[in-house]
Structure 1
Amino acid sequence: MAVLSESVSDDHLAELRRDGISYIFAGRTQIDLARALSVLAEEFGIERLLLEGGGGINGSFLSAGLIDEISLLIMLLADGTMNVPTTFDRAAGAPRRLSLQSVERLPGDMVHLRYDVV
């Protein structure tokens, strides 16, 4: 489902319909996220969402005060062979497995994770 402002072109709406993509309007000239959630609740009975966006959309929801919980999963795997920022740069080969040894909650809501290399 696409969330659009009312200023979207008729050509784009026709393209969405042609591709079988449903859409809702939430805002006149720009998207109002709170309005989008309201429409989803009123029209579709959706009262809870799982937001799996990138930094942009996640930040927009957070700034709008629309996130009430963050669930963060971390799996540490020493690979480093991908073409993305990593903690470990290594040559090709099997990733190194790591075993979680302890979790400590620190001041300032920081978490200290300790791993052994397997």
Structure 2
Amino acid sequence: MSETMLYVSKIKDGTVIDHITGGHALDVVKILGITGKENRIITIAMNVPSKRFKVKDIVKIEGRELNPQEVHKIALLAPHATINIIRNYKVVEKQRVKLPSVIEGIVKCANPA
């Protein structure tokens, strides 16, 4: 019988970003414009043991669902991430991020010429 450990608690409603490349959770939070002043609970777990990737990061955002442009931003930093939409403690939607064919308005070009 194996023992399962829950590193962070479940959320009632919101978004869980799972399978973020280890050490990149803070980058994901930053690119989403999350500052901690939004009056919502943000849970960040870094370097969590993972069978698939050795270690992974997880970000949980209470009371907020991501829009498609935000998901595309995450794909730039964490191409293996999964986005889980949670409602009433249940996963109602799960998707893997994928890079869009065209990237607009996400990063600024260092060479505008």
TM-score for both structures, normalised by structure 1: 0.25
Higher relative strand content: 2
TM-score for both structures, normalised by structure 2: 0.25
State the structure with more CA Rg. Answer: 1
Q: More relative contact order in 1 or in 2 (CA 8 Å, sep 6+)?
A: 2
Higher relative helix content: 1
